[in-house]
Amino acid sequence: MAVLQTIRNYVDGCLSGAIPVCKWVKFACERHNKDLTRDDIYFDENAAQKAVDFIQLMRHVKGKLAGSKLQLEPWQVFFIGSIFGWMRVDTGLRRFREAHAEVPRKSGKSLELNGIGHYGLVADNEKGAEIILAAAKEDQAKDIFGVALQMVNTNPSFRKYYGLQTTTEIIRHPSSGSYFKFVVGSPVDGSNPHFGLIDEYHQHKSAAAYDAIKLGMGAREQPLLIVMSTAGVDFKCAYKRYVDYCRKVVSGVVEDDSLFTLEYTIDEEDNWEDFSVWKKANPNMGISVSEDFLRGQHAKALADVSSRSAILTKHLNVWNNSSTSWIDLRKWMACGQDQAKMDDFTGEACWVGLDLASRIDLCSLMFVFRREEKYYVFGKHYLNRDRVDMAENKHLRTWEEEGWLTVTDGAQTDFGYIENDLRDLSNQFRVQELAYDPREATYLMQQVREWASFPCIEVSQGPINFSEPMKVLEAKYLSGELVHANDPVLCWAASNVILKNTSNKLFYPAKRTNEEKIDPIVALIMALGRAETAHKDADFSFLIL
């Protein structure tokens, strides 16, 4: 079957529920369908077909299938076809420069990764191509590269046709001056990879290999960096930060048109004890990994608590940590309306939340309006120039260019911008209350109180004040009674929030790392709590003030 039709069938099956997959795969499928309507990129089926056909000429090297040609499954066709098929209209070159796949053990990662490596070596028409496979440990590197060697040495026709030369450490393609080799850790300075392949990123101690490969690709016309891994257990590792970034890209929170990602796991609401959900995380169940084997792992996880964590990580890609994301991004993004404009609420009542954080960090004003049974929320966000320019993630500068982020000069955020905006907007809307965290806000609020005609209410952050308003926010977005304007800063913050619980069953918002800001959500919780208080009963308050 033609590649595009295979992809279409797979995407349709995932979105209809005929193929059980998690929300991250559904996001990727929705993104594919949206991309088909764009006029700045196009799908080159011939290029996609060429890559898929080439890799299917590779041969299995282990087990009962040894010697037979690879047969890519639909999810693998979706992955490889997307990487090589999407092109930019302005250049005619590949759109995706980076691709990530997270799949459990025994899903055929090594064959797929090395098949892509061989394609870059001999079939991508790149002179002097350097194909570099990076692994965290020497035995791991030799094991995965050993598969690449066997794919050549056990396939004489492939070796002879391309004139390949091999040693235990390198595969050469003399006619193009290209080579395929492995490194332990990161490549040496001066490397110029055409394809970079990172295996089991969760085992890498740092982002050194990823950074070195990506930096070295600068001189290539259409390089490709592939990351394939299972999940891990260290929430502070470089790979976990990478996975979180991939999730934000595929769900539309962060725009990165050069990254393709597929993550196979179970959803937060799934009960792993129900074996039927294991299919979501194991797209090769019954193919490269038998159902009987997985049922055995399932039974072991049920019976042996000591081995449960490792099994869920290896076979369901569950990151085992008590801190999990609070907001369901799929349902949160469904509340977004591009046509929602704050100016359309001119003259209407609103409640405002202000989180100032610190002068070197992100600050947010959130405005909440109520129409009938729905809340409409809009944000204004502020950050200083030095922090934006130092940021590694380009999305901060993109948000500034698009008008979502106000950037003030210097190394500290100028709170005067916030006061000016608040004054102007209080003239446009009927502000009922301003709720704010008193930390960092003393001087600014002294200034605001001199002119404000509305109550300014201190809301100290903590579980006593935040637990009930968080329940309101959760109920409203899950029911579709909250509308946001697809504000990317707000959505980014929503993706960063984790839930913390106290011993007396109260909870409050938190974040995993200092880089993951949640200030817009904190401001929204305060504003929404005050709005709901006014709506329900003038004498009833969710907040202890």
For 442-454, letters b (16+ CB in 10 Å) and e give eebbeebeeeeee
Rounded Cα gap, residues 206 and 186, in angstroms: 10
Region of residue 369 (left: phi > 0; alpha: psi -120 to 50; beta: else) = beta
Domains along the chain with CATH numbers: 3-263 (3.40.50.300), 275-316 (no CATH), 329-536 (3.30.420.240)
Q: Half-sphere exposure of 203 toward its Cβ, with a 13 Å CA cutoff?
A: 17
Tell me the two tokens of residue 410. 């210097």
- Looking at residue 358, what is its pLDDT? 73
Which DSSP letter does residue 439 get?
A: T
Rounded Cα gap, residues 543 and 466, in angstroms: 7
What does pTM read for this prediction? 0.77
Tell me the two tokens of residue 18. 């005929």
- Looking at residue 543, what is its pLDDT? 40
Query: What tens-digit pLDDT sequence spans the chain (545 residues)?
Result: 699 999 999 999 999 999 999 999 999 999 999 999 999 999 999 999 999 999 999 988 877 778 888 899 999 999 999 999 999 999 999 999 999 999 998 888 888 999 999 999 999 999 999 999 998 888 888 888 999 999 999 999 999 999 999 999 999 999 999 999 999 877 766 689 999 999 999 888 888 889 899 999 988 999 999 999 999 877 668 898 899 899 999 999 889 999 999 999 999 888 999 999 999 999 999 998 899 999 999 999 999 877 888 899 999 998 865 446 788 887 898 899 989 999 999 999 999 999 987 777 899 999 999 998 899 999 999 999 888 886 555 678 889 999 999 999 988 889 999 999 999 999 999 999 999 988 878 889 999 999 999 999 998 888 888 989 999 999 999 999 999 999 999 998 998 898 887 767 788 888 877 878 899 999 999 999 999 988 775 333 434 33
Strands 363-371 and 374-384: antiparallel
- Looking at residue 544, what is its pLDDT? 35
C-alpha closest to that of 528 among 463, 481, 495, 492 = 481
Rounded Cα gap, residues 78 and 262, in angstroms: 9
Residues 284/295, Cβ–Cβ less than 8 Å: no
Tell me the two tokens of residue 168. 């235990």
Residues 131/114, Cβ–Cβ less than 8 Å: no
Residues 121/180, Cβ–Cβ less than 8 Å: yes
Which DSSP letter does residue 59 get?
A: B
- Looking at residue 320, what is its pLDDT? 67
Inter-CA distances, 241 with 119, 164, 371, 512, Å: 29, 38, 38, 10
- Looking at residue 378, what is its pLDDT? 98
Beta bridge partner(s), residue 100: 227, 261
Burial label, 248 (beta-carbon count in 10 A; 0-12, 13-18, 19+): buried
Rounded Cα gap, residues 121 and 64, in angstroms: 28
For 222-241, letters b (16+ CB in 10 Å) and e give bbbbbbbbbbbeebebbbbb
Sign of CA dihedral 71, 75, 79, 82: positive
Q: How does DSSP assign 103-117, residue by residue?
A: --TTSSHHHHHHHHH
- Looking at residue 159, what is its pLDDT? 93
Amino acid at 464: I
Where are any strands of DSSP class E within 451-544?
456-458, 482-484, 498-501, 507-510
- Looking at residue 151, what is its pLDDT? 93
Rounded Cα gap, residues 485 and 190, in angstroms: 45
